[in-house]
Structure 1
């Protein structure tokens, strides 16, 4: 399929609760938001790289990193209950109302510190050449999910799937989870708010060293270690 003009949208609201001001906190010498902006710009894929935020300080940091902030996010999509697709629909709809049309949208998460221009191109090429509604990277669970354990309030353990008690790990089907970095989709998918994992969702696999969700201080330190491993000396 032809992907046409591409828009990068980085949603970065100001109200992070678990790590205050997470989206502009310094990470490896730069505001964390600057890393996905850098990858998007270096990829050469986008007509526009924009940050969607309701926060003036975040908007200023985004502009200093090279992104655009042509309009602020509405308060309706600025709280922690707003779905990502609601944000994307608002952005695409606002651009259309202003007479600007993008056929393809890539949503990059603001804390995707390990994302690279190369991986963005991989996703772009897969979306452009395959029959997919969306494309995003995944990574393998480090242990078989079929042997997952539950733990009660007293510390007692039981298996979610006890039938796999004697199964060898190498005999179980591998499972994957969303890498939490970016999602390629069409502008109409955004406007229709089509769930990313529904329909014809395509994926490609990243190594564990390339993936780190950041919700806690421990996550933050792990992300820094992985960043140093992948980009020694880069700031």
Structure 2
């Protein structure tokens, strides 16, 4: 049996609205996006790493530091901060053929190659019963909405946070 072709996408806009230049901002002596790209390249189950970007800075830097990574220039109509990520990903999968796709962000600098490998192995072991897998963060804390209303607890009964029902981000 042959191994499936798994392509990892790392979409990055040049301009971030909340944190200017976040994708190429220095993190531990290197551009932030280098961390996740290096770990994707270190994952033996990933066949190809693809960066989708509209950033000339990222394109030039990635060409120099990661010649084995495929670069997709994001079309003008998909560059707005309001563009749904599904539209960006659909554009990418139409250009790069694979059996399966993995997508992550450059803002995961502490994501380890071992974690990626474990996730891909879990997915492959459970496919086709499940056709997708995604990571979440478990939250067990008191949450409030913008009108100061409790979201996941009763303020009159202050349970210990570890006893609150978990919510996943």
Structure with bigger helix share is 1
Please give the TM-score of this superposition, normalised by the length of structure 1. Answer: 0.63
Shift of 1:29: 0.5
Q: In 2 relative to 1, CA 80–151 (structure 1 residues): closer, same or farther, beyond 3 Å?
A: closer
Q: Report the RMSD for the aligned CA atoms in angstroms.
A: 2.2
Alignment of 1:67-106 (within 5 A): 68-95=69-96, 101-106=97-102
Q: In the TM superposition, what whole-angstrom CA distance separates every residue of 1:175-205 from its partner, at most 9, and x where no partner exists?
A: 221xxxxxxxxxxxxxxxxxxxxxxxxxxxx
Structure 1: runs of 5 or more not aligned: 96-100, 178-235
Match of 1:172 among 160, 164, 168: 164
Report the Cα distance in structure 1 between the residues aligned to 2:122 and 2:44, rounded to whole angstroms.
16
- TM-aligned CA deviation for residue 151 of structure 1: 6.0
How big is the shift at 1:81? 1.1
- The question of whether the paired residues in 2 share the 8 Å contact of 1:7 and 1:104 is answered with yes
Call closer, same or farther: CA 1:167–1:10 in 2, change over 3 Å: same
Q: TM-score, normalised by structure 2?
A: 0.85
Tell me which residue corresponds to 1:61. Answer: 61
- Tell me if structure 2 keeps the 8 A contact 1:8–1:107: yes
Equivalence for 2:5: 5
Match of 1:46 in 2: 46
How far, CA to CA, are the matches of 1:21 and 1:161 in structure 2? 35
| Per-residue deviation, 1:8 | 0.8
In 1, Cα distance between equivalents of 2:8 and 2:26: 22
**Corresponding position of 2:116:** 120
Partner Cα separation in structure 1 for residue 20 and residue 144 of structure 2? 32
Measure, in 2, the Cα distance between the counterparts of 1:8 and 1:163: 42
Name the CA distance, whole Å, in 2 between partners of 1:159 and 1:71: 44
Q: Deviations over 1:36-67 (max 9, x none)?
A: 10110111222211100112211122223325
Task: Report the counterpart of residue 138 of structure 1 in structure 2.
Answer: 136
Change (3 A) 1:163 1:33: closer
Gaps of 5+ in 2: none
**Counterpart Cα distance in 1 of 2:75 and 2:13:** 11
Q: How many residues align?
A: 164
